[in-house]
Structure 1
Amino acid sequence: MKRLIVRRLLQTVPMLFFVSIVCFILVKAAPGDPVRSFVTPNMHAADIERVRHNLGLDKPAYIQYFIWLKNCLTGNFGYSLVNHKPVLGQILERLPATAGLMGSAIALAVILAIPLGLVAGANRNRWVDKLVNMVAYIGISLPLFWVAILLMYFFSIKMHWLPSMGMRTIGMNSALDVIRHGILPCTVLAIGFLTVYVRYIRSSTISQLKEDYVQIQYAFGSAKRIILFRHVLKHVVLPVITLVGMSLGDLVAGAIVTETVFSWPGIGSLGMTAVKGMDYPIIMGITLFSSVLLILGNLLADILYGIVDPRIKTTSR
């Protein structure tokens, strides 16, 4: 297992290098000029060029990249072109909000998907299975931003049950207030993964119920509920660990949309603001952070895979 961790960590270096190059090329190829945000009607061409020089945008693109890469290797991710604050400081400042939202969404999706998928697979082609399938298909088909607006309209505007925007109420500093603000964005973010996990667990349950060990348990007189949650569950959860690790990329993308709609002060909303303002350092910093999160998530999934199934730990040595 230690060799696996070391090998995967070493593989992250060329991966992050490649991601940074692709991201830098895409950012430079995007239309727009960040210098325009500093231009006023009374500025002369020489003043504009001076601003461009001060921002380091007058150098060739490859030189700008290597300067940025050199600074990153020393822990300096640069400063925002808009608010002139350190990029790393802004990301770390918003990290708890995003991590709490993403962690809650994944936990909620997995907790609900396991029993729903097991019950649907155990009752194949019955009304329970058809109902779960119908809800899953609807959830897969709906875009997250539309679901977010719909829930906001009903639960915030119409019923006044939950707050619609932000992370805290002005003048309040309690955990309960944060939870109330996080219910809607967490629900929206979890829906997209819940539907996928339910379908996957359902198909895995159907295939596991055909295995010999299930028939043996039936022959011993075990109840169907016991077989599902004591024996089949062990085999179904194992692939879900990998599925969750592979979903982290989509989770980050979903967090960007969700945080923007609900004005959640996380990394996603920071990224959207940076894209609108052509804030190159912020965009690059968030892209690298998302890549590291995805790589570490897959590594964690492999580690958990070995913990749940000791046979994998043995074969990796």
Structure 2
Amino acid sequence: MRQLIVRRLLQAIPMLFVVSVVCFGMIKLAPGDPVLSFVTPNMHAEDIERIRHNLGLDQPAYVQYLLWLKECLSGNLGYSLVNHQPVLDQIVDRLPATVGLMGISIALAVLLAIPLGMIAGANRNRWIDKLINLIAYIGISVPLFWLAILFIYLFAIKLHWLPSMGMRTIGKESALDVVKHGILPCAVLTIGFLASYVRYIRSGTIGQFKEEYVQIQYAFGSKKSTVLFRHVMKHVLLPIITLLGMSMGDLVTGALVTETVFSWPGIGSLGMTAVRGMDYPVIMGITLFSAVLLILGNLAADILYGVADPRIKSGEVSS
């Protein structure tokens, strides 16, 4: 297991390098100029060039990247071009809001998807399977920003049940107030994750019902529900570890649009603000941070795989 961890960490180094190069290149190829956010109608061309020089944007792109990489290797993700605040401090300040929202959404989606996907797979092509499939297809097809606007209109504007935006009501510091503000964005994100998770678990359940051990259990007189929840379930849940590992990156970037619609003060809204302002240090910081989480999530999934199934553990080490 130690060899597996060391090997994966060494593999992550070139991967992070490639991610940073691609992201930096895409930012430089994108239309727009971050200097324009500082320009006023009365500025002269010399003033604009002075701002460009102070921001380091007058140098070639590869020089800008090498300077950023040098600072990044020293633990400094740079400073925002818009508000001049340290990028790492901004990410750390907004991280709890995003992780709390995304963590609860992913957990709810998994808890709901396991029984729904297994029931749909166990009753393939029956009415319950078609109904769950229909709901899943709707969840996959509906854009989250449209669903968020619909929820705001229905539950906040029409029914006045829940607040429409923000994380707290001005003047209130209670945990209940935060929960009320988080219900709508959490519901939207849960629906988005739930749809894909249900399809994933349903497919795994159908595959397990074709295995010989299921037929053997039927031959011993086991009921379908017993086979489903006692034998099939543990085999279906094993790939969920990988699914959760791949969702680690979503803890940071999975709520870009949803946080923006609901004005949730997380990393997603910070990223959207950075994109609009061509604030490439913030964009690079968020991208790199999410890539690190994704790599660590996959590593954690491999470790948990070895814990859950010793055969996988021995196979990984021997390879």
Work out whether the TM-score is over 0.5: yes
Q: After TM superposition, list the pairs within 5 Å mapping 1:274-313 onto structure 2.
A: 274-313=274-313
Q: Percent identity?
A: 77
**Structure 1 residue 115: deviation in Å?**
0.3
- Is 1:13–2:13 an aligned residue pair? yes
Counterpart residue number, 2:236: 236
**Structure 1 residue 148: deviation in Å?**
1.0
Deviations along 1:184-232, one digit per CA (max 9) or x if unpaired, are 1112112122111111211221221232222232333333222211111
Counterpart residue number, 2:194: 194
Counterpart residue number, 1:43: 43
**Structure 1 residue 51: deviation in Å?**
1.0
Counterpart residue number, 1:111: 111
Partner secondary structure for residue 255 of structure 2: helix
Counterpart residue number, 2:26: 26
Unmatched 5+ stretches in structure 1:
none
- Is 1:93–2:93 an aligned residue pair? yes
Counterpart residue number, 2:79: 79
Counterpart residue number, 1:181: 181
Deviations along 1:215-257, one digit per CA (max 9) or x if unpaired, are 2323333332222111110000111221232344566554101
**Structure 1 residue 122: deviation in Å?**
1.5
User: What letter is aligned with 2:263?
Assistant: S
**Structure 1 residue 75: deviation in Å?**
1.0
User: What letter is aligned with 1:130?
Assistant: K
Matches of 1:26 and 1:165, distance apart in 2: 31
Matches of 2:174 and 2:309, distance apart in 1: 41
- 154-163 vs 267-276, which deviates more? 154-163
Contact 1:156 1:164 in 2 (8 A): yes
TM-score between both structures, scaled by the size of structure 1: 0.96
Partner secondary structure for residue 43 of structure 2: coil
Partner secondary structure for residue 75 of structure 1: coil
**Structure 1 residue 304: deviation in Å?**
1.6
Matches of 1:251 and 1:132, distance apart in 2: 26
Contact 1:101 1:182 in 2 (8 A): yes
Matches of 1:249 and 1:73, distance apart in 2: 21
Matches of 1:302 and 1:102, distance apart in 2: 22
Q: What is the RMSD computed on CA atoms of the aligned residues?
A: 1.5
Partner secondary structure for residue 271 of structure 1: helix
Q: After TM superposition, list the pairs within 5 Å mapping 1:60-71 onto structure 2.
A: 60-71=60-71
Matches of 1:80 and 1:169, distance apart in 2: 28
Q: After TM superposition, list the pairs within 5 Å mapping 1:150-169 onto structure 2.
A: 150-169=150-169
Matches of 1:48 and 1:25, distance apart in 2: 24
User: What letter is aligned with 1:158?
Assistant: K
User: What letter is aligned with 1:212?
Assistant: E
Counterpart residue number, 1:267: 267
Number of aligned residues: 317
**Structure 1 residue 66: deviation in Å?**
0.8
Matches of 2:129 and 2:82, distance apart in 1: 52
Matches of 1:14 and 1:22, distance apart in 2: 12
User: What letter is aligned with 1:109?
Assistant: A
Matches of 2:134 and 2:293, distance apart in 1: 33
Counterpart residue number, 2:138: 138
Deviations along 1:136-195, one digit per CA (max 9) or x if unpaired, are 111111111111111111111111111111111111212222122111111211212211
Matches of 2:147 and 2:302, distance apart in 1: 32
Counterpart residue number, 2:57: 57
User: What letter is aligned with 2:82?
Assistant: V
User: What letter is aligned with 1:15?
Assistant: M
Matches of 1:10 and 1:223, distance apart in 2: 48
Contact 1:117 1:202 in 2 (8 A): yes
Contact 2:106 2:193 in 1 (8 A): yes
Matches of 1:70 and 1:87, distance apart in 2: 15
Deviations along 1:80-111, one digit per CA (max 9) or x if unpaired, are 11111101000010011111111111111110
Contact 1:144 1:254 in 2 (8 A): no
Matches of 1:250 and 1:178, distance apart in 2: 21
- Is 1:214–2:214 an aligned residue pair? yes
Matches of 1:164 and 1:300, distance apart in 2: 36
Partner secondary structure for residue 316 of structure 1: helix
Counterpart residue number, 1:223: 223
